[in-house]
Structure formats: C-alpha cells, structure tokens
A and B are shown apart, each in its own frame.
Chain A
Amino acid sequence: MAVIKRLCAAVLLLGVLSVLTYGLLAVAPGGPEQVLLGGRPSTPETRAAIREQYHLDDPFPVRYARWLGDALQGDFGTSISSREPVTTMIADRLPVTAGLAGYALVLTVVVGVPAGLIAAMRRGGRLDQGITLASLVALSIPSFALSILLLYGFAVALDWFPVFGAGDTPMDRLVHLTLPAIALAAAQAAIVVRQMRAAALDLAAQDFLTFAKARGLPRRRVWVSYALRNAALPVLTVGGLLLAANLTGSVFVEQAFGLHGLGALLIGAVGQKDIPVVQALVLLGGAIVIIVNLLIDLAYVAVDPRVRHKAAAA
C-alpha cells in the first residue's frame, strides 16, 4: 500500500514539475527561433517555416499536450540546437556526471566519516581543532575557485593530472575525474565531517556508550560498532542528498574541468530555449531525487533495527 502511495506521489510530482518547466520556458522571452536562425539575418519565409515546424503559434496547452503524448510513448524529442535525439544526448553525458558524482561521494564518505568520528573522539583536542578548521576552510572555498587552484597546482605545476576532459578508457576516466571529484567533494566532505562530529558527540553522553566503555571494550570497537552505527542516520540523509545534488548540479566543476556532463547541458539548453532537452533533464533530475530518497529510506531500515521494528509495530 505504502509503495503504491509513494509511486502515485512520485508521478504527480514529476507531472507538476514538467508543467512548471514547460510553462516557465514558454513565458520567458525569446524562443527557439534565435537558436535556429543562429543569430543571423533571416528571411520571412525561413521564420514562417520554423514557426510552423515547431508549432510555435499553437497555444501553450496544445504544445504541452503534444510533448506529453510523445514523452509517454518514450519519445522525448530532438534537441533544437543539435538536432540529436534527447535520449542520446543524455545517454552520452550521464556516464560522466554519474562517474563524477559517485567518485565525489566516495571521497566524501571515505574522508568525511572517519574525520568526523576522530574529531568527536578527540573532542577539544588539537586534532579536533585541526579537523574543524580544515572543514571550515573546505566549506568556504567556492568549488570553481578550488577547481582553478587544483588545476594550477596538480595539472600544470606538478603535471600529475590532465587539465581537461573525461578520458576514454575506464582507467583514463578515473585519472581525469580525480581533480574534479576532489573539487566537488571538498565542501561536501566538510559538511559530512560536521554532521558526523555532531551526531557522535550527542552519542558520547549516552548511557550505552558509558556502559560499553565500562565493560572494558576497546575504544575502536566502542566507536565503530556503537557510535558509528547510531550516528549513521543523519549522515545517510546528508549523503543521499549530496548524491542527488551532484548528479544534477555539478555544473561549475564540469565547466572548470571541461567535462561535458548533465549540468553543463542543462545550462546550455535553458539559455537556448531548447525545451525538449530541458524537459527531459528536469524530469531526470526529479526522478533521481525521488529514487535517492527512496534508497535512503530503505537504508534506514537496513542500518537501524529500531526503524524496522517501529514500522512493524505501526
């Protein structure tokens, strides 16, 4: 029952999202004519042909209904600027963005979780202060500035990494995506550090931790098995949201590293009033957020038995 309810809500949400996007693009000034004419002088015949071909004189509901009809049959149309099927364009770019988002999330978790936990363990100590300060700095640097710094340092001065592009082979891609992933992960890791530290500190005063220590369990065991697991819920939430944000909003980093991902595509398409591309990307973004939230909820159940039991009791 809950699943059906959730599915209906998701479909409704995507529907509203698509109407809003289509409507906002339709009322915004300018149209696809500018893109199709290439900003060049044009003849009246050409302009009339374009208006007819793209049904620009039809009222908004008719145009939207036409798009929706095609979309429901799996046809998301053809990009106005490149004349390439929208699904092909997205399929071309998704691997880059997904790779970057995944890589950044791994870095975020691998660095952020232990660092936050260590900071909590050494509360008030030098290490804690150092980690807190480092995370403050990481949080404060805008990602595009960090990108340029990383490029200067590691790609130009040290020549360890390539300056731009996404690479072709899997190995090559890992190397190409390292600097972008660090640029993207820095601020996020800082958020996770703070979240983790706060959650673990809340726990530090709990009776079960005191009892575990009193039983003489080794410190590592106390923190990893007891504290980490109990602090996992808020961190999972943040991690999931970060993943969704990475998949849809890593545009600054993509731009700085010459990566052709979904973020760059979306910005370009909005500027060019490329409605089929924008529609498909917005729906994809919406679907990603919905799916990630669902996964987070499932992860709650897996990680925390109390959630499971509560659900069963209710």
Chain B
Amino acid sequence: MAYAKTATVAVVLALTTACSSGGTTPQTDDSLLWAVNNPPNSLDIAHGFNNASTLIQTAVLDTMVTLDARGVPAPRLATQWTQPDPATYLFTLRKGVRFADGTPLTADDAAFSLRRHLDPKVASQAASYFTTVKQVEAVGDDQVKVTLKRPNSAFLAMSAIAWQVTPRKLAEAHPQDLGSPEVGTMGTGPFKVTKFSLTSGVVLERNESYWGRKPALRRVEFKTITDPETLRLAVRSGEVDATDGLYVRDARKWTGLPGVKTIFYPGNNIGYLSLAVKTGPLKDLHVRRAIAYAINRKAVADLMTAGHGTPAATMLPSPQLAALYGDGLPALPAYPYDVQAAKAELAKSAHPQGFELEVPYASTGDGGTVMQAVASDLAKIGIKLILQPSPVDQYRARVMQHDRLSIQYVNLAYGTPDPLEVLPDMVSRAAAEPEGFNFSGYGTAATDKQLDTLASTTGQERKEQVTALLTEIAEQVPYIPLFYTDQAVALNEKFTGTFTTWSTDGIASLRPAGR
C-alpha cells in the first residue's frame, strides 16, 4: 500500500507542477473571482428575485430609476420624471443608450420591461411590487407613461429594484425563460454576460459602450461554493477574491483571515416572532404583552448576529426607519426585557399560571436556535413551549398554508426603503390568507383602510400614518421584533469596493485597492 500511495502522489505532484506553470488562467488585477453560496438561477428578476441572482442582474441590467445613499429614488435610465397627477408618472429616457449588442434602447423596450411583470403568463416574482400599476405605455421616442390604479408612494422605490430594462424583442420571445442559461439576458448596464452556466458559473465582462462611469474591472467571474467552510478556505487561500456568502454568526472566523478585509453594513431585514392572534392563549392581549416583556432581545440579537446586528424594537427594518424618519424616531410603546412586568401582564390574562403551546419550527437554519432561546425565556414566566422541529420544506409548506399557526420565527429581507413593502404583508387582511405573509392573522377593516391611505400620502402626513400603524402593532403585539442582521462582504485586500444598504452597483464599484 505504502508503495502504491507514494506512486499516486508522485504522479499527481508532477501534474500540479505542470499545470501551475501555465495551465490555469493567471489572476490579473483587473479580473476578480466572486463566490456565492447559492447558485444564481436566473438573470431575470421575474424568475430570479433572490440574493445571488439579483446581485448579477444589477451589474448587467439597468433599472429606470435607482436609489441614492439615503434611499431616495434617483435617475438612472430615466434622466427625470414628472407626476402630472398623483397616479401618473412620466419618465424621460436617457438619450443615446445602447444595449450591449449595440441596438439602441427605446421607450418601447422600457415600457414593455415593466408591463411584462403584470402578465400572469410570465408569473413574475416581482408581480406583487406592481399590483397598483394599471397601464404602461411609450409616449413618443423618449418618454414612458405609467398610470397607477391609485396613487402609490412606494412605486418609485419598487421600480428602483425591479424595473430592469431588457430588449422587448428578447423578453417577448421568452416570457418564461428569459434569463435562463439557455436564453441569457441583454442589458444596458456596466457589464455584459459572456457565460452563464449553472455548473461552471457566470462570467461578466465590462460593457465598453456603457453610458455611465465604466467599471475598473474588465472581468468578474462568479462561482458557487455551497459549503461555508470550503468557501472560507477558498478565500483564505486567495483562490477566491470576494464573497457575500458569509454568515454574520461566523463573522469571527472571517475577520481574522490574513489578507482579507470584511465589510459590514446594515441589512434591510428583520427577524421577528409572529403570534397567531385568532386562536388559543395568544388571543389574549395580556399574554402577548407578557411574551414581549419576557424575551431578552439583546441576548437573542447577540446570539444570532455575533455583534454584527442590533436588537429590534420596531416592526420595520432599521434602514427603512432611517430612510423615513432620519434621526427623529418617534416614541413607540416598548417592551424592555423585564420578567416582573411579564409576570404582571400574565397575571392579568386568562392564563395567570401560564400554559403549554405547541410551536413548530424548521429544523435547519436559524429557527431552532431562536426558538430555543425564546422557549427558555418564556419558561421563566410559566409559558411552556413544546418545540416541534420539522424539515424546512414541510415547515414552509405548513406555514404558507397558515396551518396551525402559533408562534413563528420569521426573518424577512426587503428590497426597498419603503414601509409599504413591509406593512401590508404584516397587517392586511388579504395577506392573512394562505400564501400571504401575515402569519399573525391580525388585521381589521380599519387597518386595511389605513394601509390604503398610507399609499396615497406623502411627506409629514405619511410619517404620521406609519407612526400610527407602528403604534397599533406595538400596542396589540401581533408581532415581536427581535433583531436586525448586518450584511457582509469579504474581499481580498488586493481589491476594494463600496457596499451599502441601498446601492445596487456593488459589483460595478469593485476595483483594485489603492485606486
């Protein structure tokens, strides 16, 4: 055995030496390898509205508008827009923009790119962003008119994420499989796709005819490494230059890597508990308040984010709060960690001695850890949670069917700075139906009406409306906010880049360090 093994190793060594002297592509500093932990499945947001896919889409496709550093809509393909009336937008298209293949961008392309999300045949994952859009039409050569069913102050913010512009001809020919590896995509963005394979990855090359500031890198390649430890070793060894696939809970393993810098920024997400208010002991408001007092948010946040996150006190992601209120956060009813207060609330309820409750959770992912922490906190006031783990698919199917909901741990990430992306999912009656995201079942005709008015108000009035809804949620406790998680990017020190909550040009901002 010893002999045979030595022989194998010797042969392989000879091969390695042969290869390293010219077989592999040399890494120059205008080419970067980025690893993702889930493969991008589609380069069309209609069928690939997820982190890995959207990251690449934003480097290749331009949206009509974009978001500035504060989350305010700003020009991109549209140089400006007007609102002839509250429910109508008139966008003026940038002149002289061409797709990566040289064909000129037309107002018709731009209009169709939004209209297709309304087509049930496309079954777009972004359809829920544009439910209020009634009509999209090209006006003349360089204008696009969007008519809404009713005023919607979140329309621009949602367009900044999902109104990606592709040639009408291509999108029309492929309603179902635009953006797939077979069809690919075509955009006006800073990069163009030169290869898209589910197995060997994605290669982007600089779009030399890009209308905006050209990216510093000539080539960015994306590869998928699903195993977190392998990903870390690949970054450590220098084979991979950058990744967004690190879990902040493991941040400590990354921040110490030599030659690698880790960038953290606030994520547009919130981890929370939803309490099903329609049945069982959770129907009792005092029980829900007792639970809110009993949970040590700070401890849960530390546990789940390892210092790269913050406890949440309000049911909106922190970047959305900042975009809406700036520094002037309103005072809302709060439930600081207080076991005595929790016991006092429980004593006022119909279950003063506590109760038992069956709580399902997904056995993979963060659910188990969070629910165990919650269960141990609640045990202190006499509420015994009977934890029921189930496989993630089974759990998700059950929750989406709103089947036997009780206390659910939910962690949702959002795209826009607008509270209207979040609140209707939380408290509208429509979202309390199966396939909706209102797992508490909380919502009345009055809240639906408030949500409607919220959509048509602006400025100070809008802030007050949001404050009123947040206050109601805090008083009625259908949800208990837990924590916000930072986003993270690890970069080899050879490179640098700008990653912030609202920027969608992270890939285009990558450049060799020192430039």
Contacts and interface: CB of A to CB of B under 8 A. Distances in A.
B128 A42 contact: yes
B393 A163 contact: no
Contacts of B120: 45-46, 48-49
B435 A38 contact: no
Interface centre among B50, B176, B230, by most chain A C-beta atoms within 10 angstroms, is B230
Chain B: interface size category: 35 or more
Contact of B198 (A40, A163, A260): A260
B431 interface: yes
A28 interface: yes
Interface string B305-348: 00000000000000000000000000000000000000000000
B365 to A, nearest CB: 12
A82 B223 contact: no
Contacts of B446: none
Contact of B8 (A107, A162, A171): A107
A15 to B, nearest CB: 27
Nearest to A45: B120
Given A36-B123, A175-B19, A255-B226, A29 B397 contact: yes
Contacts of A164: 223, 225, 230-231, 234, 239-240
A41 B431 contact: yes
Given A29-B393, A155-B233, A155-B237, A41 B123 contact: no
B230 A151 contact: yes
Given A49-B123, A258-B227, A160 B16 contact: yes
Contact of B42 (A45, A82, A161, A175): A82
Contact of B15 (A47, A148, A174, A260): A174
Interface string B293-315: 00000000000000000000000
Nearest to A257: B230
Contact of B131 (A43, A172, A258, A271): A43
Q: Which secondary structure characterizes the binding site on chain A?
A: helix
Interface residues of A, number: 69
B76 interface: no
A285 to B, nearest CB: 19
Contacts of A257: 230
A58 to B, nearest CB: 18
Which of B5, B48, B227 has the most C-beta atoms of chain A within 10 angstroms of its own C-beta? Answer: B227
A245 interface: no
Interface string B91-120: 000000000000000000000000000001
Contacts of B12: 174-175, 178
Contacts of A78: 177
Interface in B440-468: none
B27 interface: no
Given A49-B121, A92-B198, A110-B4, A40 B128 contact: yes
A118 interface: yes
Contact of B394 (A29, A156, A159, A171): A29
A257 B225 CA distance: 8
A60 interface: no
A276 to B, nearest CB: 14
Of the listed residues B41, B197, B236, the one surrounded by the most CB atoms of chain A closer than 10 A to its CB is B41
Contacts of A110: 4, 8
Contacts of A163: 230, 233-234, 237, 239-240
Interface of B: 1, 3-5, 8, 12-13, 15-16, 18-19, 23-24, 39, 41-42, 47-50, 120-121, 123-128, 131, 176-177, 180-182, 197-200, 223-227, 229-231, 233-234, 236-237, 239-240, 392-394, 396-398, 400, 425, 431, 435-437
Given A34-B397, A193-B1, A255-B230, 20 more contacts: A36-B47, A37-B125, A37-B435, A39-B50, A42-B128, A43-B131, A45-B127, A83-B182, A84-B180, A85-B182, A89-B198, A92-B197, A93-B199, A111-B4, A114-B4, A115-B4, A156-B233, A160-B16, A164-B223, A258-B226
30 contacts: A29-B398, A34-B397, A36-B123, A39-B50, A41-B431, A43-B131, A46-B127, A82-B41, A83-B176, A83-B177, A110-B4, A114-B1, A115-B4, A134-B1, A151-B229, A156-B237, A161-B16, A163-B230, A163-B234, A169-B23, A172-B24, A175-B16, A255-B226, A255-B227, A255-B230, A258-B225, A258-B231, A260-B39, A260-B199, A271-B393
